[in-house]
Amino acid sequence: MIPKLSKASIRRHTTGKSLERGQDYYQSGSVTSLIQRGNQLSAKVEGSEFDPYRISISFDKGGITRVYCTCPYDFEGWCKHIIATLLTCLHQPDRIEQRPELTELLAFLNCEQLQAVVENLALEQPEWMDAIEQKIIQLTQPKTTKSQKTSRHISIDPKPIEQQVTRIIARYSGQWDDAPAIEAIEKILQKSDSLIEQGDGNNALIMMGAVVRAYVQDWMNLEGSSGESGIFLKFWMHLWLKQF
């Protein structure tokens, strides 16, 4: 069960219209799957598309820390599918199927079995292949020296990055918790770290500059309940510049 979950806490993260639609989805039984693995909850919710929408929710003892839905909703607050999932957790906790965490599952596998699992997943989900390949490269290849690193031949366009940061801040503007916005922007900043590792300081600076411009312009719109939004960028710039 998610700690501190209540209808009031759900209402704080959504609009009245989304809450109403989420209640309709909950009452119609649209939540078809609800699985908990440790502090991770996953669900499937039937919607207007043929395939159900997939929801993932992370939480700790203080409550919900992250939510995600595969639907295209990108407006204020949580979407109706997330709301329907949380209402099901709140009112029908017996529907939550408890399953072991991934680390517990993997502990039972030997090397050959683990390899077979990865190979089968790559065949069933071809889009995962690039991610698997990158992880293998990171684990098996030695880190390149500065003399071996090469930069991109084409400069990154900063405009889409600025727009992405602006959309993130707008999405969480006025909400009591600024942590999801900071987490999303931090993922963008981590990409600049990858560019530095590749020896591409020029594009890393372009990416960092784009984030800074958009963040400085709109960060005051974040509620700031975590207390981090004001010092977030200063901390990242200090950490980032130490790498040069």
> Mean pLDDT, to the nearest integer, of 139-149?
59
| 150 in a structural domain | no
Number of domains in the chain: 2
Residue 90 lies in a domain: yes
26: which 2 tokens? 């909950």
Q: Is the pLDDT score of 140 beyond 60?
A: yes
Query: Which runs of E-coded beta strand occur in the chain?
Result: 31-37, 40-45, 53-60, 63-69, 97-98
Q: What is the mean pLDDT of the chain?
A: 80
Asked whether residue 123 is domain-assigned, the answer is no
CA dist 68 and 208 (Å) reads 25
Of 77, 98, 119, the one marking the end of a domain is 98
- Give the CATH number for residue 77: 3.10.450
pLDDT in tens, 67-107: 999 988 877 889 999 999 999 999 999 999 999 988 888 88
Residue 105 lies in a domain: no
Residue 202 belongs to a domain: yes
Rounded Cα gap, residues 87 and 10, in angstroms = 8
Q: 22-73: per-residue pLDDT in tens?
A: 999 999 999 999 999 999 999 999 988 888 999 999 999 889 999 999 988 8
Check residue 242 and give its pLDDT. 46
What pLDDT does 228 receive? Answer: 52
Is residue 26 domain-resident? Answer: yes
Distance CA(178)–CA(172), nearest Å, equals: 7
The pTM assigned to this predicted structure is 0.54
Phi-psi label, residue 38: left if phi above 0, alpha if psi -120 to 50, beta otherwise: left
Which 8-state DSSP code applies to residue 57? E
Same domain, 14 and 86: yes
Which domain, by its residues, includes 70?
7-98
Report pLDDT digits (tens) over 200-235: 778 878 887 788 777 777 666 665 544 455 545 554
Residue 117 lies in a domain: no
Does 147 reside within a domain? no
